[in-house]
Amino acid sequence: MSTVPLLEAAQLCQKDVYGVRRYNGKVCASTTRYVDGHRGACGCGPRNTDTPFTWNMQQFLTAPSERYFDNGGSSLWCGRNCGKCVKLTPTGGFVPGEGDAPPNNNSIVFMVTNACPIIGNEKWCGIQGKPGTKSVNTYGYEVHFDLQNQAGQIDRIYWNNPEVTWEEVTFPLLEAAQLCQKDAHGVRRFNGKPCASTTRYVDGHKGACGCGQTGSDTPFPWNVQQHVTAPSERYFDNGGSSLWCGNKCGHCVRLTPTGGFVPGKGRAPPNHNPVVFMVTNVCPINGNQEWCGINGKPGTNNVNTYGYEVHFDLQDQVHQVESIGWDNPEVTWEEVAFPFLEAAQLCQPDGSGVRRFNGRPCASTTRYVDGHKGACGCGTGSDTPFDWNLRSYVTAPSERYFDDGGSSLWCGRKCGRCVRLTPTGGFVPGEGNAPSNHNPVTFMVTNVCPINGNQEWCGINGKPGTNQVNSHGYEVHFDLQNQYGQVAAIGWDNPEVTWEEVSCPGDLQSNWQQCECSHGSG
């Protein structure tokens, strides 16, 4: 039995009789990633500067090995393959110690806008001839593609220097930022999932599902404040053409950014967090042909101008879409059974059921009025609170946070700590309302919200990080002192927030030293 070195085992492309790697008869290439704020060797930036065009940083672009860049020559400026496009398809292999297997074998098209010189890059780009001349790099590949990752576009598709097959293709740059690729029917898909385009709209009407006051065109507040959508006409009516009370009214769709976008129409989003939207309006074909001119429901191989089988126009009346960093991203979509409870909660459950917003931990809030000194002893011995403990921004967090996982209801380990709470714009329906702004406020812990008697909000059986949540999916709850209306005055009615521990402001630090528990807590 022959022994195959481990180097080969992860490299699925095998050497032919000339030592050139191939995979199922196709020519192979190695890849790496680079970050480069220059305009590159094809001059893709304003003349007489080294400043790149924005697309030259954000889209799928490559700096191939020198001999490919100049089609066998050695020019490092305006090589003969500048502007060419190559389709790279992962084999599932990689060079051990230099990368990892990708999550899928989906093809991506890259444009040549830069070069990987031989000098200084001998290991990868030290190939002495163009493809077809039997010249290879250290790892046996006849060409190498260094991939632009300035905007994290390669990281987003989870490519870590995969081995690929390659072929030159004719591909408009329009496609370069659209990660959803067309299937055999011209319908865009991403990792096998159906894709959709998105835009934003501002509309103070009740919309085509009648979500407003009877006999008027005034919308319900939630219909302009929450995550609601006006999908393309044929989806709205499930293939029909009704523009009122379509068959999909009230249905919910989970939209997950791919990281792509239609060039000139939007930008890559800051993350791939899914968000659920409810259908409450319609995007008619008439007047919206570019995006919503789709002549059949999904599954009928009808698409809009950009190749998507459905389009979702997203309500942004109170900037609820802008606030999550979405600027018309490309998305995958699926219908979900989603209680309306979720519709106003912008923090979405992660894989462990803990709500997060743009990757940040979330919390629920309520308000309380309490004339006692509280569980951190911030008052006199007679249970009379210090005046600042009633007037300042102070909080009674859930028991397990109060004692850092313990169950003490006096002088918990978080007494005197401060937390910065930042509204997401969401809230638990029936329990609060959207705040008037997203300004953060810092609160000091001076009391506790016990589990006993407060199961709905504070019945969390572990400290943050242990995947324990309350009835609404939050790992911590903050009950906010409102004795003098200080919380109501900033327009907070139990908003959903992100939270983080921070240093306390000077006045609260000074006040804290008066509390009984200050001698044994932070």
Beta bridge partners of 197: 311
Please name the residues in contact with 87: beta carbons below 8 A apart, sequence gap of 6 or more.
Answer: 107, 108, 109, 166, 167, 168, 169, 171
Output the six-digit token pair for 403. Answer: 């004692």
Euclidean distance between CA atoms 49 and 254, whole angstroms: 44
Task: Examine the residue annotation and report whether 313 is marked as an active-site residue of this protein.
Answer: yes
**Which residue out of 203, 350, 370, 493 is catalytically annotated?**
203
Strands 228-231 and 311-315: antiparallel
From 125, 124, 140, select the one nearest 5 (Cα to Cα): 140
Beta bridge partners of 365: 478
Q: What is the DSSP string of 386-409?
A: PTHHHHS-EEEEBHHHHTTTS--S
Place of tokens 């709905």: 456
- Give the ranges where 44-137 is alpha helix by DSSP (H): 55-58, 66-69, 122-125
Beta bridge partners of 21: 15
CA 375 to chain centre: 39
**Which residue out of 70, 146, 237, 313 is catalytically annotated?**
313
Euclidean distance between CA atoms 252 and 424, whole angstroms: 21
Cite the active site residues.
203, 313
